[in-house]
Structure 1
Amino acid sequence: MSDIIEQTSEQKTEKNELVVNLSKENFADMILNFLGKKEELTYRSEENGYFKITLDDIEEFYFLLEQKINREQSLILDAFSMELFYDNGTKRVVHSFEKIAGFVETRNIKPKAVLLEWHIIVKFNDSPHVETQKIQLLFKAYDNEYIGIVVEHTDQIWGMEVLSLFENQIKNIYVPEKKSNVYAKKIKIFLESTPITTGLTIIIVFLIMVFIESLDKNIRDDLKFQTINKVININSQEDKKLVESSLAIYMIDKDYRDKNIIDTFSTKEVSNEMKNYIDNKNNNSNSFKKFLLKIFISIYGFYTILYFYLVYVIRYNKKNSFILLTKKAHKDYETYKDDKNNKQFYSISLIAFTLIIGLVINFVSVFLF
């Protein structure tokens, strides 16, 4: 009886068995979301930096993680893939490290992003269950370039170790933004701020009003000259001295400075005094206009030259990132290096600083002389 039961059990067991042949990648993907509750650690490189990676750099990240797993001897199964996003809108996925090590792209395209992804199934010593870990490493080489890491883990210590391992390696290939560029951006933002813009607007409006007032005054003065000249001519010779004296007083009172009227005076004493008076007034007026003009040129010129120079510096110092996995990427990188002309940069910088120093000296001289 017992023999029959045992035989029946063996038959049932054999009937319930199912054998399925799966690749490592498919098997890892199938059970990825069923083993262990994951937490997430992330990293993103600093803004406005840049990087340049080759196939050797990608292999270095793979070897770093492989060495860590081999030391721990906890690996059960792993799957690795590389996903490339090209500038023509296509993408390519390469599975297994062996295929990536011999990667060749024959098309005339350039990678703009590459995603490295690991699916790892491990059994930690302090856990009775197998658990899955997922690691993603992204290199983005367009728009806002950056390097990002996402570690989905079931063991925080293990996840932190992986994150730290990759962070240290990223420091070897990622170059942060220059401090000089950071300061240039801050100054540019300050120049664009409301107080500076408002102050310059007030100065411009004031100078326009002075110009309009001066133009209007010239029109009014021309009408005055014609009228006064007629008044002088209609008076008799005997009354001219009295008229000229009264006219001189009137001109002083109304700040009228046209010498053409003075030239018609027959009384030399009055004519000479009025000419001296008008010369002094015109000199003072011209000095004031020059004073305003120098201030305007100094302030507005300084602002304009400094602002556009900062824009140039920011654009010049902005470095592009490159993923050098294709011939086109290498060609574009060489062209990019040639375009960064240091001589041109230093020449423009020298001209800008010369103009700025000249405007500062001009501004100071307004108040000293």
Structure 2
Amino acid sequence: MLSWSIAGALIASSLAVAGTPAAATTGRLISVTALHTYATRADVDAALTTDKFDPGTDRYGVRTYRLVYRTTDPTGRPTTASGLVALPINDEPRLRTVSFGHGTSIYKLDAPSTSDDVFLIGPALTFASAGFAAVAPDYLGLGVGPGPHPWMDVPSETTASLDLLRAARTFTARQGRQLARDVYASGFSQGASAALGLARALQSGADPYFRAVAVAPISGAYDFRHAEIPALFTPAVHPVLASAYTTYLLSAFDRLHDIYPYPGYVFRSPYVDLPELFDGTHPGEEILMALPPSIDDLLTPRGKAMLLHPTGRFADALAELDSVCTDWTPRMPVRLYYSPGDEEAVNANTEHCHATLGAPTVDVGVDTDYNGFVHEGSEVLGVPEVTRWFTALSS
């Protein structure tokens, strides 16, 4: 899940809004920044192949933009967020839309609209070059959005994704183009849950215009309580990444849900101050240097017990996170993409979602060339396959 391609590489080697009701402003476009122009299909091909993405679905050049827009924070208060929009360079006035949720980032600028890392922008380039309008939310607290990021908070991932769709609709209209009603949702790792959350919300009528027509998450952690957390204590997950995920989870959930009385309750000395590094202002290199070598070095006995046997607010928050595969019945095609032997979002997550949603799974194979990690490689392999499926469905 640490799709900080960043983390794999390292181990292998105030715009806040006030004064107006949230309901009146969500999705309102604040600003647009033109980012890059890939004038031809060949330019897109060249960009994608630098990070091992298959350019086989490319058809058009692409222009990318950063949108800043109004949304709400996890408490419902008005705030702002940013996201990437990628549009194909063609004469099509009406564009089908793909919403793609990125994987875990710890540093604010490691987000689609504020990074040139092809791992982060490659999915949007792929979908846009295939002829879709691609929108990629940074989520709350990442990109140029204010505050810390509420990691693995599906409700705010959903609202940030939906409000970016609304802002993108306004923006494309100003370009003399129109976003069609149909939304194809996808995402990788953390973004896999975000994609399911968005599809669920659209199916329930969260927006009067947009409707979800297919969802294709890649390598998600859909069963955090029963699959992902237990795996963190086993060799199935890289030990340093297990420390990183655990710290991010506990610090983000405590910030949002108040799940422990003080850091020393769950973190051993000298790691009691480690959660302070997960505020979005510290690059991955700094955090990885500060992490303990294993989760056993990180946690107190009470911290370990809390993770393995969650109760109270923590259990409720995990249930909400895992509900993307348990509390709805999709009325649209769903495919769950994965790579066997994923050492971050272990395959038991996909098996759980398959069992509860009844959605078919798609094995995209294994590519460990991307920083030596199966997990990151599953995005590189999965995005072109998802693009082909979405293209076939929309034909």
Larger Rg: 1
TM-score by length of 2: 0.20
Which of 1 and 2 has higher RCO (CA within 8 Å, sep 6+)?
A: 1
